Structure 1
Amino acid sequence: MKKGSKKTERMGKVYPFNPTGESYYRRGMAMYQRGQLDKALKYILRAHELEPAEPMILVQAAIIETEIGEFASSNDRLRHVLNKLDPSMSEIHYFMANNFAHLGLFQEAYKHATAYLDLNEDGEFAEDAEDLLELMSLEEEEEEWDEDLDQDELIMHQEQAGKLLAEGKFKEAIELLEEVIERFPDYWSAYNNLALAYFYFGETEQATALLTEVLNRNPGNLHALCNLAVFYHYQERVDELDQLMDALESVRPFLYEHRFKLGATFALVGRHEKAYGWLKSLVKRGFEGDAGFYFWLSHSAWHSGHKKVAEDAWKRVLDEQPEKQGHEPWNTKPEDDALSEEMYPEERLFSLFKASMAGSSLADEVPPAYFTSVEEEYFNLLRNHGDRMDQSPIHRAHEVALLLNRSFDAALEENKGLYYMWFHIVFFASEEQYGFKNIPALTAAVEYSWKKVRAHRVSQKEVAQKHGVSTATMRKYINDIQNFLP
């Protein structure tokens, strides 16, 4: 299947609708007609947020994702429409078949193409579906599919798990990957990804145990060794990290995938000369990486003195991820506090908090149009200088941030993750009308949860006493905030 084929072009049709999110949809479709697909997708997804029950919006988003090559994500949206919003939209089977064909998952492509034809023998996409079946030559090879079924399913699970990890949905990723390793007990990639999911979810002992199991059963597994280095780096286990990285310097992998993993790991831990050597060697051999590859190439090149390579690599990053503008490796003081529509709500809430702590006045400012209702409420609170007469939930959430700031300076880079976690909780809890009733207990719960994520040795009793609350009360609020974490 080639991009720009008849199938892809036919999918790029415009679906009319009349929801209250119409203005965002119209703006998205205007961008779509101009060929500005990234911007189009952003506006269409905003329309979906406003009208989550309108299936045609999500279908249009899926169509755009197909055109930009995000086939797995497109199918996720189409599957949601078919299963949750409108099971009667039979054309979705054709769209999914097309995506699966692009992914090389021909068993799934056949299943959905035939499902569409069964429901729409003379439908709008009937001829295209028949062409798709012919292109895959599936009619003659039906007897061979069963042996490929497990492989197709394994690829699908792996892609879905990778997507969940990227989105920070660690609980869902853990559930999916545990199912995978139960069915495929020697699939080491799933073990490695499951270890990452456990680690970022705060279950560091379980994560390390999984990597140890992999290395015991598959000694020298490079992905496991590199992931272990990542764990040591974030846990600030300097001696163990140095020992492991010194050992990895003697490794000479053959596969491109392993060279990329090794180079990215060296870059992450700050060994930029080594990182640059591996990543640049891939470029010389004609390797075409994604934005992640060029991100690490740019960083390692810049920090090892290869300015031109760094700048060229960063252009490749921006081609795929224009939202990275301003985060170049040479931008030593990125404007983290500058609000942007591209930021996540928790990033904007944290920026507002830092601005208020720095004494910036919002008295003459108005909240940007892209602010959510939670952000606008917080903006107005800070504009009134956090008036203590205001005992609203958002004010109590602000008081928690103020208490956290006594122990964790919000201006320090090392504490950024703590505040992102808290304001992520603030945003989603506010949407659920959570009351933020007990400020000291919430502060204790957040501090303890964060320290557990960072694998710091700390007891619940110690943190609870620090904030003057009982351990039982702190535990209650730990359970509360877990409901609003990914």
Structure 2
Amino acid sequence: MKGKPQRTDRSLVNVVPIQLDASFFFERAVRSLDRNHYDKALKYFSKAAEYEPENPVNHCNVAGILSEMGDYARSNEILNHVLTEVDPSMMECYFYMANNYANMEQFEDAEEAIVTYLEEDEQGQFLDEAEELLDLLFFELGRKAPVKRIKAREGIAEHDYARSLLEEGKFAQAAEMLEKITKDQPDFTAARNNLALAYYYMGRFSKAKDTIFDLLTFEPGNLHGLCNLAIFFQNEGNKEQVAALIKQLQTLVPFEQEHVFKLGTTMGILGEHESAYAHFRRLLKNKDTASDPSLVHYAAVAACNTKRFKEAARLWEMVKMLDPDSEVPKFYISQLESREEEQEVGTISYHYHLPFEEQFRLWEKYGASIPEDIKNDPLIRSSFFWALHHGDDTSKAQVIIALRHIGDYEVYQALTDFLEQPDENTELKELALSVLREIGTPETLSEGENPYKASGPTDATGTPEQDMPELDDRQQAVLNKVLEKMDKYSDILREGVQYLWADYLKQVSPELPSISLVEGWSAALEYLTVKSAGEEVTYKEVAGHYGVSASTVSRYAKQIDLVCNSTHLLKPVFRALSEKM
């Protein structure tokens, strides 16, 4: 019987089926977003939300695009849906809603949303932006927003100081501070993330991973936690867990530059170089971030790792202009120039420092006269500490000898920990011991290296002495103002605030601050002193006493606390004064 030829399976042999899922539409949305095709990005993000309606990030992506397109009302409808139906813990939705309301000039609704964000959000991701919005609302409504507390500010000064220690490469000191912060405030997720990083940089991978597990149990969707955990799993060779996390991370399109940067570096470290390249290119389109030499370096690395060698060379030339003293771009440019046309370069690390072997060559060139900026480079320090725990015996010996030239509190901690490891080579331990004898004990190291030691002599009553430097009129006015405002506080707190001001001026001398706003400095001194005494106090409460904004108090308090570490400074003072009285 003749008829229409029947189609056989053989005719479909070259057809590749398309898997229509959330990831498929997500990838197309990102592609459209990179090309500024917002209408297409909206359509694709909406389809991703249809396929994964339980994923709040998909809905937030839709809301973000709508806001960019000026459809603020519809954006808020979706954000409200996230909070009521999908994930009530996504407090950042209130921040986004507040901005949408402000753009629609619905200022009372914006005030309600931003107050909720400040009082309930623990991360503080948008604190600075929220305070700017409060200033706008104050101008529009003619009143201060009724913020009872700023949840993310709890322990913020101590955390900022610990984070600065991390950035300086003082990982052991940072870990000590962060351990105390997380113990006192277990819901302070940013501190937990940084504690995990401190452990990681010190080579204590097991403790780093446990810290992240605790964090993700508390907040499963924490981006920094997920990124850090993926890197930790990769470090221990757990390919299955790494693959699962990569799949999860590839569905995310963060709008905040900090999150894009974190995701880009993480994907690069995990070997997902195309994804990393796309994230870094997004950041380079922003003029505020395009001048950061480390970011341009990461983009160059991603370009090189995806065989875009001409683009990599162009980007490293940019790094050389942005950071002319760095050896990093010069090294990689020379590597590209010396390669043959078809020759591979090999996978390059995303860290903004020289390869480990090159670092040793550089240190050998400097000998004992190593510049301070190289000694204090946190990435170099972290690579040394990593090699001390996980390198071969030759690398460990090189590291121990190199650490002798640094000889600070961090080195003492690292080498002491090394001596306690039962499986380490006896000869290496003897070498570490000889370096420890050479650099001395924590008590003989400079005071600036260990903020936990009591500073300064004590008087006959056991109270730390603090000679008040000679004050000019403005500096004296700060002290007079704070003592006037603190007339109802105890004598111990009043003496404490004088001690704190004297210590700050002494520490920054001879570059004493220019006092343009007496009330701001005075309010900051009161806040830090009362907080150090363990009493409940907020920036807003103190700001009200002095007629300044909470952001002003916060700014000056951070400036003082970064120098003095007020809690550690004042606690022994309060104890001694209490015993004296």
Q: What TM bracket, shorter-length normalisation?
A: 0.3 to 0.5
TM-score, length-normalised on structure 2? Answer: 0.37
Q: Greater CA radius of gyration, 1 or 2? A: 2
Higher relative contact order (CA 8 A, sep 6+): 2
